[in-house]
Amino acid sequence: MNNTDIRSLYGLKYNPFLPNVPPESLFTIPGTEHFSLRVQNMAAQGGFALITGEPGLGKSKTLQQIAHRLEQVPDLTVGVMQRPQSSLGDFYRELGELFNVGLSPANRYGGFKALRSRWKTHCRSTLLRPVLLIDEAQQVSADCLTELRLLQSHHFDSESLLFTILCGDGRLPERFRSAELIPLGSRIGPRLVLSALSPEQLQDYLNFVLEKAGNPQLMTPELACTLAAHAANNLRVLNQMAAELLAAAAERNLSRIDETLFFELFSPTSSKPRRNNQLKN
């Protein structure tokens, strides 16, 4: 059964357990509210901010939520880097595309001046810094990170021409301890470190996403509690299990998902001891 059929069967606006949830319906992870407010204010002064955490804790979705909010600010230019692992030449090319600057690969200094000129114009006309968002930033080379620091620094580092939010796993802050990247690490302002969510917080997440998707009664409270307890405190694991449950329930035309289906899918060996006992008898 495809995703459209699943949505129709359960009266869902969208599948709440797949990655393509509408940005306005994203769950706000506890502890991120203050950081989000700070980075929105940072658009007026520029600089660097950092989001880190282990895989599956919601870093990318938090960055997407921030991007959605920043994009609502009138006249603010927001660029999202798609290929963080690029070489320095391709890094410049992508920056040029994001900020509508034609760059020549053979003239990197010309590209340096053109980007800074575009950002200066944006700062003067809007009193806001253009924003660059980089997910999976642990993949960005040291050369590109250093170039980015120099690109956005202006007038003896007294002014920043850009506001950059770097988002990555635990390798990223470790890299800022290396000699070549300490100058960048020392310039990072707001920092958000995401940690594992408690089962109670994961239940809050399930309640929120089901309500937003249009069917808060899709899962029984007992199932929500069980899912949260077996998700290893990880949002990605929770969503993967919930998506599998939803697909299986749709195939069986179940009106509601409960613990019976959970234990059938995720505890396939639970009946083996009983069969062994029967053989002994």
Determine the pLDDT at residue 165: 98
State pLDDT tens for residues 140-177.
999 999 999 999 999 999 999 999 999 999 999 999 99
Determine what percent of the chain is predicted with pLDDT higher than 90.
89
Between vectors from CA 54 to CA 183 and to CA 216, what angle results, nearest 5°? 130
How far is residue 147's CA from residue 89's CA, in Å, rounded to a whole number?
Answer: 11
Determine the pLDDT at residue 167: 98
How far is residue 38's CA from residue 74's CA, in Å, rounded to a whole number?
Answer: 18
SS3 label, residue 139: helix
State pLDDT tens for residues 113-140.
999 999 999 999 999 999 999 999 999 9
How far is residue 168's CA from residue 60's CA, in Å, rounded to a whole number?
Answer: 8
Q: pTM surpassing 0.85?
A: yes
State pLDDT tens for residues 177-192.
999 999 999 999 999 9
Q: What is the mean pLDDT of the chain?
A: 92
Residue 273 has pLDDT above 90, yes or no: no
Spatial neighbors of 149 by CB under 8 A, at least 6 apart, are 183, 184, 187
pLDDT band for position 268 (cuts 50, 70, 90): low
**How far does CA 59 lie from the centroid of its chain?**
4
Instruction: Count other C-beta atoms under 10 Å from residue 107's C-beta.
Output: 12
**With contact defined as beta carbons under 8 Å apart, do 98 and 37 qualify?**
no
How are beta strands 78-81 and 131-134 bridged, if at all? parallel
Q: How far apart, in Å, are the Cα atoms of 36 and each of 16, 44, 62, 191, 210?
A: 23, 14, 9, 10, 24
The length of the chain, given as a count of residues: 281
pLDDT band for position 101 (cuts 50, 70, 90): very high
pLDDT band for position 280 (cuts 50, 70, 90): very low
Residue 246 has pLDDT above 60, yes or no: yes
State pLDDT tens for residues 15-48.
999 999 999 999 999 999 999 999 998 889 999 9
| Domains of the chain, earliest start first | 3-19+197-268 (1.10.8.60), 31-193 (3.40.50.300)
Q: How far apart, in Å, are the Cα atoms of 13 and each of 77, 208, 215, 245?
A: 30, 14, 9, 18
The arithmetic mean of pLDDT across residues 77-95, rounded, is 95
